[in-house]
Each structure stands twice: as C-alpha cells, then as structure tokens.
Amino acid sequence: MSNIESILTENRVFEVSDEIKKTFSVSEEKLAEMRAKAAEDHVGFWSDLAREKLSWSKPFTVGLDDSKAPHYKWFTDGELNVSYNCIDRHLQDKSDKTAIIFEGDRGDIERYTYKELHDQVCRFANTLTAQGVEKGDRVIIYMPMIPQAVIAMQACARIGAIHSVVFGGFSAEALRDRIVDAGAKMVITTNGSRRGGKTIPLKHAVDTALEKGCEQVKKVIVYRRTDDEVEMQEGRDIDWLEAEAGMSNYHDPVAVDSEHPLFLLYTSGSTGKPKGVQHSSGGYLLNAHVTNEWMFDLNDNDVFWCTADVGWITGHSYVAYGPLSVGATMVMFEGVPTYPDAGRFWQVCQDHGVTVFYTAPTAIRALMKFGADLPKQYDLEKLRLLGTVGEPINPEAWMWYHDVIGQGRCPIIDTWWQTETGAHMIAPFPVTPLKPGSCTQPLPGIDAVILDEEGNELIGNEGGLLAIKQPWPSMIRNVWGDEERYRNTYFPLEGKPYYVVGDSAHRDADGYFWILGRVDDVLNVSGHRLGTMEIESALVSHAKVAEAAVVGRPHDVKGEAVAAFVVLNVDLPEGDERDALVQELRNWVSQEIGPIAKPDDIRFGTNLPKTRSGKIMRRLLRAIAKGEEITQDTSTLEDPTILDQFQKK
C-alpha cells in the first residue's frame, strides 16, 4: 500500500493520560480560548501575543498593515532587536542557565550559558562591525552545525545585517548563485567540518565560488573547526579568532523596524533558480517564539534537541532563534545519526537528558531499519514530547517513533509548515488527540483552507489545494529582489487573498488535515526541497547532455528519490562505459548543486516523451520511474517508442 493510501485509511486515535496532560502548560481549555479569540479578532490575537512575548524597544501601535497586499506588514511602527530578545533579556534571571549544549562528531562537548553566549555574540558583533559590515548588508554563513554558526547568525541580527545561511552540503556552484543573488558583502565559513568520522573541506568551496562574479565580497571570516590547513587569501580572508582578538564583550544591540529583514533563506520552487525567501524581524520572531512554547511546551527544566541543520528553515526557527527566544536549553549536534553507529541519536538523548526531540520522518525510517533493540540500550526516560517535520510521516514510522522511542508516553507533534511560513502552521498541541499521519489542526490564528482548482473554498471533507486565507506574522515578505515572483508564486489567484502553499491536502470529518504532498515540480528528498528544474538545468549544463527531465519516485527511506531521463548529444555508450557515464552525470549534479540532488536512477533515450505540441509528459515518466505498467493514454505522444527505450534500465 502506498504511503498516501495508508495515511488516508488510518483511523486510530491516540491520547495521553489525563495525568500527563496536566503536565503541559497549554490545557485543552486554554487552547479553546485561544482559538476563540483568534477567530474573533485575528489581528488583535497576534498583536496581544507580540506585546506579551517579545521585548520591544519601541512599542508598535499598528498590528497589521495590509494596504499593499499581498505585501503584508506586521507591528510596523515597532522597533526591536532579535538578538536582544534571544539573549539579553534572559540575563537577569537566567544568565547561568545553559543555552547550548554542543556535542561534536567525535563526542567532544561544549556548554554555553546565556551569559557566555551573550559574550560571544557581542564579541562577534563587534568583529563584524570592525570588518565593515553595516545594518542591511547581506552576509552569507556557510558553516557546519557548530555553536559558531548560531553565534554568527545572532551577531548579524544584533547589528541589523541580513544573513543568508547556505547549507554546508551545497556545492561551490550553488553557493556562488546564492552569494550573487543576495549581493553579499561577506562570507563566514570554517576551514572544514567533521561528519561521520571524516573531515570535509568547506573553505575550498568558498574559494571556488568567489573565483568569478562575486566581486562585492570583500571579506571571508574563517573559523577553524578542523586541523586542516587552508589557504588564506591576503587582504580578504581573516581567521575568526584573530579578527575577534581584543573585541569587547559589550555590544549595544541595534534596534530595527519590525519589518527589517532578519534573513534570506534560499529554497527551491517549481521554476527557475532557488528563491531568496525574505523574513522579517518582529513577525518572524513572534511565531518562532510561540510555536516553541505551544508545540514543544519548552519550560525551565527542558532540554530541547532539534536535529535540523541551520542551513534549513527548521534550523532557524527551532535552533538559532525560537528556543533562545523562550530561554530554553538546547542541544546542537555536529555529526550524523549513524556514526559511530545507528544508536548515536539515542546516545545523545540519553547523555544530555533530552526531554523534547524533533527530527524528520526520513531519519526515523532510516533508524527503524536497525530495529528496536538499539534504542532500548539507552535510557530515554526523560523524553516527554517527540516532533517530526519535513514530509508526511507514514503511520508505520509514526507508530515506531511513538512506541519504541516515546515508549507510548510521548505525544508525536507532527508539524506542517514551510520555509515561507517561518514557523509551524498546522500541528497538534501536546494535549491534542493524535491520528498517525495527520498534522491535526491549524494553530490558533492560522486560517488554513482547502481550495478546488478554480480557487473556491471546499468546506466538506474533500481534498484539494492547501491555502492560507489570512496573513500571519511570520509569513514570507518577499522573494529577494523579485517582487513579481513573490506575487505569482504565492498569490496566484487574481483578486483573492489566498497564500497558495503548493501542497495538496485532505480534511477529514474531525477537521484534521492530512498533507498529501507537493502539487508542483518540487521534490521532497529526505525532507529536503529540490526543484526538478534545478536538477534538469544542472544535467543539461553537462557537455554530453542535450535534454533532461527529472521526476520523483517513491522511496522507502528518503520519501522520494530523484529519477532522471536523459537525452544525450553523443552516441549512447554500452556496458561499462555506460555505467561510467551514469556515474559521471551523478557526480556532475553533485558538483553543480550538492550530493542531496544526485539522481538515484538515470535512464537514456533518443528523445523525451513529448506531446505533438512539445510538452514533456511527466506523468508517464513518473509511472516509468515507479516501474509501473503504462496504462495511460499515449496517443497524444509524438513518438510512443520512446517509452520502450526508457523502460529498459
């Protein structure tokens, strides 16, 4: 049975005992009150929270400004500093509380109290200023999962610089595209990173990226994470510690407008290059803050561990900003789940007393394969909430997570959201009754609806396009430098206010949402978003490739795997040479984008299956990739024999 079918026939309901329910800060009554208030006064609901939860250096008087819709502004005339909210305001009563527990790939451990984090962030903020970074400048952060990545992000926020974190697994080419699009002035990186017992170079990719077209980058700050020597370019590259020497640990945070961009984060869409999703300061922080309280119930005694990399939105809202804003203790982990063995996640949970754990279904499915005995060797008694994000979780993985890791006592918080939404949108509170595979209900103040193809709201329990009807504080503000793309992509329904998500969903009779997956040409591989177009253009840029089409096919661990159909402009080699070409093309994609985009299958044909008007028939390619018999109508195909070529592996 496919995941989607098994999700849709799932009817079990799970609730924790009343005794456990009582331990959660938001009770069912409180939740009902919040929902009622939000329904009655949408803007008032969010504005009250913004006053209660955030510290403003200048209070706002305007909740929502929708005069330039669909460009919405929240808390417009207010001023604040995000880093002040994440660190300084905790110094009075939590200065000795641990903010970050870091575990390195090799088991090395570092701890930072809020006071220590404050000192580090201030010193680095002063360093950035001394190196010429000013409010509004863009700074690229290309670093592994080490505390310095969070320190760099927080330091940018402190001076009002706009960071754009590029996932360390992206290639030099992908890095260059982002540097250029953002118009960045500085890159912050490390000499290398440590993962799975190996050291991986990073600075080298920065050097390659900067070779051409990035003249505006004046400085590169390099933190030494490994023992590897790297070349430092005179006048451009500076060692982090040397640059920081003599810098004061005092820094007055720069108050910015609520709407001042906090960061850009590049993500894949269905067309063109990755887009720079632009987030605000006040609105973004508000949703990041409240969802850490609501979904994860973070309290004084919690140790929160979100396994996401800071290169993704989850690592922004649930590592770098949200947990700090609520004053929590969090774990940061540099390594991989399977090194030195597949018990690593459970060892980290045990050793640091993790109480709330947040990861992706792909990780759960990968670890499930190693059986239940491995997690049983670790003490996971402290866990009280388990979260998932990134893709629909199949009921089998949900049950394993619930029974084996959570020992039946921990609610599974399945959080649906996107880079563009900034924070959780549809997700249970810990007290919500759960159905495996459903992200349950929209949060209070999130107006999720389901539309038909024409943009009419469906009110029954039908499936359709997921959309958000009213603006919310942490929504995307713009596609960096491309206002038109912002409107066309997210508000495609002329004259209607819907933010169209790009996922299809189904709502059941209890009002629970079931996300079915993307409706556009975006793949979800191990919870990572990849545009088919991006992979196609990478393939086509190879000298031997004339044309390429990329589709997803179901994969039991990754969720989706990348399948590529390629037309060569040279003769198709045979035997070993053909295998070598497949390898060459896979490596090419890895070099152009990053290893996560490597096609799992590559098939060759003399043309792509096209209609007489030249449109590629992707549904046929999807069927071939899945190994399905072609039962669809192929009469509109220009040349039906193409299908036979592609069906041969």
Which amino acid, one-letter code, is at 307? T
Q: Is 528 annotated as a binding residue?
A: no
Q: Is 203 annotated as a binding residue?
A: no
Q: Which residue is nearest to ligand WTA (CB)?
A: 419
User: How many C-beta atoms lie closer than 10 Å to residue 574's C-beta?
Assistant: 8
> What is the closest distance, in whole angstroms, from the C-beta atom of residue 347 to ligand WTA in the complex?
26
Separation CA 351–CA 646 (nearest Å): 51
Is 447 labelled a binding residue?
A: no
Q: Which amino acid is at 507?
A: R
Spatial separation of the C-alpha atoms in residues 277 and 291, rounded to whole Å? 20
Is 411 annotated as a binding-site member?
no
**Residue 195, annotated ligand binder?**
yes
Residue nearer to ligand WTA on the CB measure, 105 or 391:
391
80 or 397: whose CB is closer to ligand WTA?
Answer: 397
CA distance 85 to 289: 10
248: exposed, middle or buried (Cβ count in 10 Å: 0-12, 13-18, 19+) = exposed
Q: Where are the beta strands (DSSP E) in 519-592?
A: 522-525, 528-531, 545-555, 559-568
Name the residue among 221, 223, 206 with its Cα closest to residue 334: 223
Query: Shortest gap between Cβ of 401 and ligand WTA (angstroms)?
Result: 13
The alpha carbon of 613 is separated from its chain's Cα centroid by a whole number of angstroms, namely: 37
Q: Phi-psi region for residue 437, left (φ > 0), alpha (ψ -120 to 50) or beta? A: left
Q: How far is the CB of 389 from ligand WTA (least distance, A)?
A: 5
The binding site for ligand WTA (CB under 6 A) comprises 267, 312-314, 389-392, 414-419, 439, 502-503, 515, 517-518, 524, 529
8 Å CB contact between 550 and 600 = no
CB of 81 to ligand WTA, least distance (A): 26
3-state secondary structure of 224: coil
Q: To the nearest whole angstrom, how small is the minimum distance from the Cβ of residue 416 to ligand WTA?
A: 4
588 is an annotated ligand-binding site residue: no
- Which CA distances in Å does 490 have to 70, 321, 342, 531? 9, 25, 40, 16
Q: Which is nearer to ligand WTA, 181 or 420 (CB)?
A: 420
* Closer residue to ligand WTA in complex, CB, 119/534: 534
The answer to whether the peptide bond before residue 323 is cis (omega within 30 degrees of 0) is: no
By beta-carbon proximity to ligand WTA, the closer residue of 118 and 506 is: 506
Q: For ligand WTA, which is the closer residue by CB, 168 or 517?
A: 517
Residue 438 annotated in ligand binding: no
H or E, element range at 71? strand 71-74
The angle at the Cα of 154, spanning 148 to 157, to the nearest 5 degrees, equals 145
Question: Is 294 a known ligand-binding residue?
Answer: no
> Is 74 known as a binding-site position?
no
Is 518 assigned a ligand-binding role in the annotation?
yes
**Nearer of residues 518 and 598 to ligand WTA, judged by Cβ:** 518
Pair 586, 600: CB distance under 8 Å: no
Q: 263 with 141: CB under 8 angstroms?
A: no
Closest distance between ligand WTA and the C-beta of residue 646, in Å? 27
The CA distance from 247 to 158, in Å, is 15
User: Under the phi-then-psi rule, with left for phi > 0, alpha for psi from -120 to 50, and beta for the rest, what region is 408?
Assistant: left
Q: How far is the CB of 440 from ligand WTA (least distance, A)?
A: 10
**How is residue 273 written in tokens?**
């290059």
Q: Which is nearer to ligand WTA, 64 or 364 (CB)?
A: 364
To the question of whether residue 362 is assigned a binding role by annotation, the answer is no
Nearest distance from C-beta of residue 43 to ligand WTA, angstroms: 25
Cβ pair 94, 114 in contact under 8 A = yes
In one-letter notation, the amino acid at residue 279 is H
> Smallest distance from the beta carbon of 311 to ligand WTA, in angstroms?
10
Q: Which is nearer to ligand WTA, 88 or 420 (CB)?
A: 420
For ligand WTA, give the closer residue by CB, 476 or 566. Answer: 476
Query: Reduced to 3 states, what is the DSSP secondary structure of residue 486?
Result: helix
CB nearer to ligand WTA: give 386 or 582. Answer: 386
Residue 541 counted as an annotated binding residue: no
Inter-residue contact 617 to 609 (CB < 8 Å): yes
Q: Is 414 flagged in the annotation as binding?
A: yes
Residue 226 annotated in ligand binding: no
118 is in an annotated binding site: no
Query: Closest CB to ligand WTA among 223 and 416?
Result: 416
- Rounded to whole angstroms, the Cα distance separating 624 from 558 reads 19
With 0-12 / 13-18 / 19 or more C-beta atoms within 10 angstroms meaning exposed / middle / buried, residue 591 is middle
How far apart CA 491 and CA 95 sit, in angstroms, is 44
Give the C-alpha distances (Å, rounded to integers) separating 9 from 5, 395, 436, 465, 628: 6, 10, 10, 20, 23
Q: How far is the CB of 517 from ligand WTA (least distance, A)?
A: 6
Query: Measured from the CB of residue 346, what is the shortest distance to ligand WTA in angstroms?
Result: 22
Least Å distance, CB 232 to ligand WTA, is: 34
Which residues sit in the known binding site for CoA? 195-198, 314, 526
Give binding residues for Mg(2+) as ranges.
540, 542, 545
- Enumerate the known binding-site residues for ATP: 390-392, 414-419, 503, 518, 529
Q: Residues annotated as binding site?
A: 195-198, 314, 390-392, 414-419, 503, 518, 526, 529, 540, 542, 545
